[in-house]
Each structure stands twice: as structure tokens, then as C-alpha cells.
Amino acid sequence: MTAATRFISINGRPVKTPIVIASMAGITDAEFVLARSKHAGVAFIGGYNTDEPSRKASTAMEAAGRKEFNADFEEIATEIDILDGADIIIGLNLRGATPEAFVSAAKRFGPSVIYEIDAHCRQQPMIDAGCGEYLLHNPEKLCAIVSALAAEGVTVSVKTRAGVVDDRELARMLWKAGASILHVDLMDTGHTKIRQIRNSCPLIIIANNGVSSSDKMMDYFAHGADLVSVARSASLSVLQTLDRYIRAVAEEIGWYNAPKQLCRGGDLRSLTFCCMPVKQCPLLPSLESLGMTREEYLTLKKEATADTPLSMGSHTCFGSLAFCCKSSTPCMFRNMTLQSMDLPLNEYMALKRTLSEKIVKKIFENV
């Protein structure tokens, strides 16, 4: 697989590994990122204060002993220059209260970086200034910032904290407003919240919090995350372990963040593994919740796999690989068909990934 097909692309560039360095106040600068860039695909530096309200809040926090929130906005250009040429996609984590402050940053630094709106900081001075978590409780203001940034033609990420508001509704609002990425601190909510968000919007999802082991990473991937981010535990050894593991998974399995099957708690992407709707199983209520009839589901799968290897498989249970299950599920008929076609399991899973992307696109195109 090429870099572009192994994982995903962000801001017009293939991500070399779906491991992200999350912004940490007073820590994530160019030097920190460069030391870890071999084993991370994306890094958010900052956060930076963009306007007078956020700067005043930072000054008040510094007086209370929290100096790390006073990153100098004027240093951003230097940091970007230092990271120029590094094989890593850069994002700026920015605090602010008004669309104008973020737009000013976009005009200054251009479209080569991701602009991440900090709707995550829960320090009271920031909330009082109309920044950080304040924006979660006032989503119309957050969406106004998203829309203003998106109008500048830049890639917009929003850093949120799960469980503060209705995450599904917020995700839909941010998607409609023009965001491309949702960076979610899961706190104590775990993979259940990721699945809910995944089923609510087609945004790129970065799962954050507690990602220090391969098992935790794969749990997030299996429930809807496109990338995972590491903050305080972003040591070189942790990043190296996660990076090596997910690269091996991508090559061996063919779909690095393949979902669990729907009947085992998978998100909507797992419709790619579902069989024909002929028995009582989780497929039927899922189709009903989507407002999709059985006939529409059958037609969608058949049209999406036409003229591909997945349209074949007359000896499988339902006469087509389009209705076959995940490669980790034992199936003699599927495997015999793949062997007769000289199609390895990892290539089969890559095709299933493409099918899932078509299904998800269809689900959300008229929402």
C-alpha cells in the first residue's frame, strides 16, 4: 500500500502514521515535535492565545502560578519555519473568543497548517473570557468561528471534551459549520462515545486520552477513530511502540482501523461486513434508524461493488463478497472464494474499507 491508501490524508497530505501529538500548554513546541516526528503523523503545537480576552485570561492564570498558558502568539511563524520540511503535518491549537481572531491567524499563516479551535480548556479565567469550554456551552459561537475559518479555505479542527454537552448534536453542528476534524478528549467516556460520534457525522475523528498502549489505541480505532492522539504520555518509546504496531496492522490486515462487526458493537462503517437482511439481527434496527429500507441497502451494496472483486463470489452464503464478513471471522466459503480469485485477505479488507467509505458517504450525503 502507498502512504495515501495505508492510512488517511489530511490537509492535502497523506498521514504517514495515524499517531498524533496533542497540544499541551507550555510543552508542545517545534523542538518537542521534531524529537518525535519519526513516529507521529500529525502534531498540534500550542496552545496560543489569539486575542485580548484570551491573553488577559492567560495573564491572570500566570499570576496564579499557571505560566504554561502564556505561549507567545508571535512565535508561531518561527515554530512553523523550524518544522518546515519535517515529515509531519502541523496544526496550531488556538484559543480565542471571536471569529475575527481566528481568521486573522489564518490570513497570517496560510493553509499549510491545520487550525484547531480550543473548545477544551476548562480553566475558569478562559471560560470567563469566552474561550475554551465556554464555546461548548455556546455552540452557536463555536460554529461561527468554524464557519469563518472554513471560509478562508483552511482545514479546521475542533478540540472538545466529551460528556460536557450532547456530543452527537455538537458533532453534527460542527460538521455542518465546515469543520473537517473533531479532536475529542474522551475523559472517562471511552470508546462508547467515539462510536456515537462516528455514527453522527463523517468528520475525521481524533481520539484522545489514555492512549499509551496498543490495546487502548486499537479499541479506539475499532469503534470509529481515524487517528489517536497522545499528550502527557508522548514519550519517544510510547510513540514508537504505537507507530510500529499500527503500521504492522495496516500491512497485515489491510484496514488499520477496521470496525468491529455491527453485531459486536461496530459503528456504521461495519455495514460493509453485514450480510443480506434476512434474519433478526442488529442490521435491521440500524437500517430503520437510518431511514433505509432493506431494498435500498441491497441496491447500495450491489451498486457500490459493481465491477469490483467484491461483486464476485457465487459460492459464498449470499452469492457475493459484498455481503461477506470481516477477515477475522472464520468462513470457509469466503476464504475458498478469495483463494480461487488469488485475492489475499488484506486486499479483501482494503476493498471492504472502500465499500464502507461509499456507504458512509451515501448515509450522510442527504443529512
The CATH number covering residue 31 comes to 3.20.20.70
Structural domain of 95: 3-253
The pTM of the full predicted model, rounded to 2 decimals, is 0.96
* 42 and 126 housed in the same domain: yes
Residue 138's pLDDT is: 98
| Statement: residue 235 has pLDDT above 70 | yes
| Statement: residue 2 has pLDDT above 80 | no
| Statement: residue 34 has pLDDT above 70 | yes
What mean pLDDT comes out for the span 267-273? 98
313: left (phi over 0), alpha (psi -120 to 50) or beta: left
Q: What is the mean pLDDT of the chain?
A: 95
What mean pLDDT comes out for the span 7-25? 95
In what helix (H) or strand (E) does residue 337 lie, and over which residues does it extend? helix 332-341
Instruction: Count structural domains, the chain.
Output: 2
CA distances from 202 to 132, 179, 198, 215, 268 (A): 24, 10, 7, 25, 10
Residue 98's pLDDT is: 96
* 217 and 304 housed in the same domain: no
* 142 and 24 housed in the same domain: yes
Residue 9 bridge partners (DSSP): 14
* 206 and 342 housed in the same domain: no
CA distances from 322 to 94, 222, 250, 290, 353 (A): 44, 20, 21, 20, 11
Residue 190's pLDDT is: 81
Q: Residue 83 corresponds to which cell in the numbers above?
A: 518544522
Residue 67's pLDDT is: 76
